[in-house]
Amino acid sequence: MSEMPLSGLTVLELGHSIAAPYAGLVLAELGAEVIKVERTGVGDPVRDWGPPYTDGIATAFQTYNRSKAGIEIDLRDDQQRAALQKLIIDRGDIVLQNLKAGAADRAGLGGKQLTELKPSLIYCNLHAFGAVGPLKDRPGYDPLMQAFGGLMSVTGEPGERPPVRIGVSIIDMGAGMWAVIGILAALAELRRSGRGSIVDVSLFETAIGWMMWPLSSYLATGQIPGRQGSSMSTIVPYQVFPTLDSNIMIAAGNDNLFNRLCRALGRTDLACDERFATNGGRVRFRDILLPVLEEIFATRSTAEWSELLAREQVPAAPLQNVADVAAAEQTRALNMLRAEVGLSHPYVALPISFDGVRPRSKNPAPALGADTDRILRKTTV
């Protein structure tokens, strides 16, 4: 592939924090020209999410905003606002925005306003709680949605321990991914009909999407799922076990894999026990089976168990920290940590390749307003 699939498209990102900027990053490294629009003199608040810093910018901002151009405008200024609108109409193919509810409309930059002026435009709103409903005007953030969307209710250890959030911004980044999916679908519709679309995604809808299995279970049974730690209520054994020196994750998701696990453990008698012969039995008798497995796993190191389990093709993995992941041979083989000119340390590349070629970063994250003169102020009103 001589160029990335979205080459030739121009995206205006009126985004801040993580959700819209992550979507903009994906679109940029898939080939689009992404112009990040920030508030004059202030910019995206993620610029101050440090330490750590990378090349003078908060590492978080550098992470989500590389490969973009950057302009700054004051939406309260009629001339600058009109210049931005003209830039969108003249050059924009896609607008991506997660401003406060109503802010884009008040500035004359809302989806209905712009698509009336340019019917081929694809306009994507990243809402907090959604486009409709009693909470549609409320602001929202990733941890709030992990709480409100139910993820915290199924994350962490059972018992009276405090709820915990998932350790990454999974709602923000998930909403950004849905934004990209919606935009790509809208591009397909544009090719078919010649008309653009208004795409709506939200943090809350993304949270509900991640909760598909627990919600489906509740709707089927009327029982509220609880926290399971590293395990699952419907599969046994499917959890972390402490070893002699650390921990190992076991995912024996069917009866055949359980038989292989028992061979690796030297306990084929467990596979022959009628209580444990099927997954349904193992779930019913988990309080009997799991202590036995815990005692066995505690007798060897994680490395020893990894080798024994690999021989029997039992799905298992050591619990790695970020340093382990960065140093892993598989990470290097996939070239997921890329070093580019202009960045002082490697970055995490997009998890996708085309004909064996992984998208590359075009440039570091822009300084505030770095491209304003080149892009915005040359647009005549």
Residue 376 reports pLDDT greater than 90: no
Intrachain domains 10-210+337-375 and 238-242+247-318 with the same fold: no
Q: Where are the domains of the chain?
A: 10-210+337-375, 238-242+247-318
Complete DSSP assignment for 197-261: -EEEEEHHHHHHHHTHHHHHHHHHH-PPP---TTS-SSSSSEEEEE-SSSEEEEE--SHHHHHHH
Distance CA 41, CA 159 (A): 48
Assess contact for 200 and 133: CB atoms under 8 A.
no
For 304, the 3-state DSSP assignment is helix
Residue 239: beta bridge partners? 250
pLDDT in tens, 194-238: 999 999 999 999 999 999 999 999 999 999 999 999 999 899 999
CATH architecture of 10-210+337-375: 3-Layer(aba) Sandwich (3.40)
Domain 238-242+247-318: give its CATH superfamily.
formyl-coa transferase, domain 3 (3.30.1540.10)
First-to-last alpha carbon distance for the chain, in angstroms, is 38
For the chain, the 3-state helix, strand and coil shares in percent, each to the nearest 5, are: 40, 15, 45
The values of phi and psi at residue 201, to 5°, are: -135, 165
Asked if the bond preceding 139 is cis, omega within 30° of 0, the reply is no
Amino acid 379: pLDDT: 60
pLDDT in tens, 136-147: 999 999 999 999
127, with CB counted inside 10 A (0-12, 13-18, 19+), is buried
Catalytic residues: 172
Supply the pTM of this predicted model: 0.94
Amino acid 160: pLDDT: 85
Distance CA 269, CA 50 (A): 55
Assess contact for 100 and 94: CB atoms under 8 A.
no
Residue 72: beta bridge partners? 38
20, containing H or E segment: helix 19-29
